[in-house]
Chain A
Amino acid sequence: GESVGLHLPTLSVQEGDNSIINCAYSNSASDYFIWYKQESGKGPQFIIDIRSNMDKRQGQRVTVLLNKTVKHLSLQIAATQPGDSAVYFCAEGGSYIPTFGRGTSLIVHP
């Protein structure tokens, strides 16, 4: 089975709101996680990563939170814009090969 999975297949938000996309993982030994964004007809694009020695990491308008106790991570997008509409994947990095879950489709309404 999959080592990572997302809670919701679709998330709809209003432009300007904050978005939170959640992800659970099953392997307590996992020590590296990545979030990708995939727009229609394109390949996944790296957003941000986090290692297990951290519980929070921030990028431009995005924050990833890692809760190792419950094996959960989330991607928070501030002030969501129409250009953020895409499918978001969390992936477990392992040593060399990112393993992807099914993805959450983020729909941003103007």
Chain B
Amino acid sequence: GAGVSQTPSNKVTEKGKYVELRCDPISGHTALYWYRQSLGQGPEFLIYFQGTGAADDSGLPNDRFFAVRPEGSVSTLKIQRTERGDSAVYLCASSLSGRNTGELYFGEGSRLTVL
């Protein structure tokens, strides 16, 4: 069975460039999360979708970060004018409903390196 799929697995870009990271959740999962994880740290929440809408985007660090989920399945995290501090592993997770459940299914992450 397919788990959460994230592409690319690795992305190296230059400071100032635009990047897109894609997440393909488990089929039928309505809740989708983006987290960011720096080395030696726990995952840091960015944004949560319930269906097509962003139910909570309070974790997005600034307006360079944006995420969409137009059809309620695949999601894309977009980062404009990348900075070296954006370097991290970006994790996507999905769950059946999102409501008071910790059973999130994570992908293996997209490692972003900004030179």
A97 vs B47: C-alpha distance in the bound complex, in angstroms?
9
Asked, given contacts A43-B91, A43-B109, A100-B43, whether A95 binds B104 with beta carbons under 8 Å apart, the answer is no
In this complex, which of A34, A46, A97 has the most chain B Cβ atoms within 10 angstroms of its Cβ? A97
Q: Which residues of B contact A100 (CB under 8 A)?
A: 35, 42-44
Q: Is the CB of A43 within 8 A of B108?
A: yes
Closest partner residue, chain A, to B3 (CB atom): A43
Q: Does B62 contact A (CB under 8 A)?
A: no
Chain A proximity mask over B81-112: 1 for CB below 8 Å, otherwise 0: 00000000001010000111111111111000
Q: Is the CB of B98 within 8 A of A89?
A: no
Within 8 A of B (CB), among A22-52: 32-34, 41-46, 49
Q: Which residues of B contact A102 (CB under 8 A)?
A: 40-42
B29: min CB distance to chain A, Å:
13
Chain A interface, number of residues (Cβ within 8 angstroms): 22
In this complex, which of B91, B99, B104, B108 has the most chain A Cβ atoms within 10 angstroms of its Cβ? B104
Q: Is the CB of B55 within 8 A of A96?
A: yes
Q: Which residues of A contact B108 (CB under 8 A)?
A: 41-43
Q: Is the CB of B45 within 8 A of A99?
A: yes
A103 vs B33: C-alpha distance in the bound complex, in angstroms?
20
A44 vs B48: C-alpha distance in the bound complex, in angstroms?
17
Q: Does A98 contact B (CB under 8 A)?
A: yes
Q: Which residues of A contact B41 (CB under 8 A)?
A: 102-103
A34 vs B93: C-alpha distance in the bound complex, in angstroms?
15
Q: Could you tell me which A residues sit within 8 Å of B by CB distance? A: 32-34, 41-46, 49, 89, 91, 93, 95-103
Which 10 residue pairs are nearest across A and B when measured between Cβ atoms? A43-B106, A34-B102, A100-B42, A93-B102, A49-B102, A46-B103, A100-B43, A44-B106, A98-B102, A96-B98
